[in-house]
Structure 1
Amino acid sequence: MLTPLLITALMAQTTPQPAESGDAVRVERHLAVMGTDLTIEVDGTDRPGALGASEAALRAIEAAEARLSTWTPNSELSRLNRAPVGQAFELSPALAGELEAARRWSEACAGAFEPVCASLVRAWDLRGVGRVPTAAELAAARDAVGPEAIAVAGADRSATRLHAEAGFEEGGFGKGAGLDAALAALAESGAHGARLDLGGQMAWFGAAERRLLVADPDQRARPVVALALPADTVSAATSGNSERPRDAAGIVRGHLLDPRSGRPARDFGSITVVTSSGIGALAADVLSTGFFVLGPDAALAAAERLDGVDVLVLERARTGADLQLRCSSGLVGRFERIDSPPESSTTAPVIDPQRGDPPSSDPPRSDPPRSDPPRSDPPSSGSPP
Structure 2
Amino acid sequence: MIGSERIKQVSENRQRLTPIVESIIFLGLQNILLRGHRDSGRLFSDDSTNDEDVLNSEGNFRELIRFGVESGDNLLKKKLRELKLLSIRYVHKQPHPNEIIECCGEEILDTVLCRVRQSQYYSIIFDETTAISHKSQMPIVLRYCYQKHIYEDFMGFVDCYSNFDEDTMEPKLTGQILAQTAKHFIKTNNLDSKPCVGIGIDTCNLMLGEQKGAVMELQKCLPNALKSQCANYVLNLSISKSSSVQAVRNTVGKMKEVIAFFKTSAKRNTVLKRKLDGYRIHSMCETRWTERHDSVLQFESKFEKIVEVLNIISNWKDRQASSKAESLKIAITATQCIVSLKYLCDTSILALSDNLSKILQ
Q: Same fold (TM over 0.5)?
A: no
TM-score (norm 2): 0.24
Relative CO higher for 1 or 2, CA cutoff 8 Å, sep ≥ 6?
A: 1
From the CA coordinates, give the structure whose radius of gyration is larger.
2
Greater percentage in strand: 1
Which structure is higher in helix share?
2
TM-score (norm 1): 0.23
